[in-house]
Amino acid sequence: MAFDLKRIEAKLAHVSDEFRGKQAQMGFPKDAFYEDGTQVAYVATIQNFGAPARGIPPRPFMEPTVAEHQAEWVKQLARGVKKVSDGGLTAFDVLDGVGRLAVADIQATIAGITEPELSAVTVLLRKWKKEGRTITGTTVGEASSAIAAGEDPGSDNKPLNATGYMIASVRNAVNKTGEEMQG
């Protein structure tokens, strides 16, 4: 039995050419903003890493998701490369599919976070915001005093889910290598 090395080389070159210069991206696009103009990526970064000076503990979701699911993403990519070599998919299809899987995994991690618990002040601020109050530095002080005086903060205490917008903003994109992710 003889192998047609030229044909194999051509097929491998085709696969390499398909993927060259492309990257799958997952996370928060730079053009996603909350109603008040705050960038979602900024808030997600603070939530992921924490801001100890502001009393915000880390609630990591990116690194744990990558650690838990990276091998699965690589397997999907490998299956996709085979389909590209067979002509059944394009590199874009494969990278987009891996990105969609990663987005679902990131969202599931965010949804599953319950600790560290929110402070009673944060829970009360959420309650006040839903009642239409504008939250400022002064309001935070008022909330702290209200909690100290025994006010019930309410029960909206799920971390990383004040509005649901952060989890809904997780996206994937297939771009040229080096390009920033847009929404």
**What's the Cα-to-Cα distance from 127 to each of 13, 120, 122, 140, 171, rounded to whole Å?**
58, 11, 9, 12, 28
pLDDT in tens, 71-90: 999 999 999 999 998 888 99
Q: Which class for 17: exposed (0-12), middle (13-18), buried (19 or more C-beta within 10 A)?
A: exposed
CB 120 within 8 A of CB 147: yes
Global confidence as pTM: 0.85
**Mutual orientation of helices 5-19 and 91-112 as an angle, nearest 10°?**
50
Amino acid symbol at 118: L
pLDDT in tens, 98-125: 999 999 999 999 999 999 999 999 999 9
**Helix residue ranges per DSSP H, 86-136:** 91-112, 120-130
pLDDT at residue 169 in the model = 97
pLDDT at residue 180 in the model = 87
Q: Which residues of 68-104 are buried (b: 16+ CB within 10 A; e: fewer)?
A: ebeeebeebbeebbeebbeeebbbeebbbbbbebbbe
CB 146 within 8 A of CB 124: yes
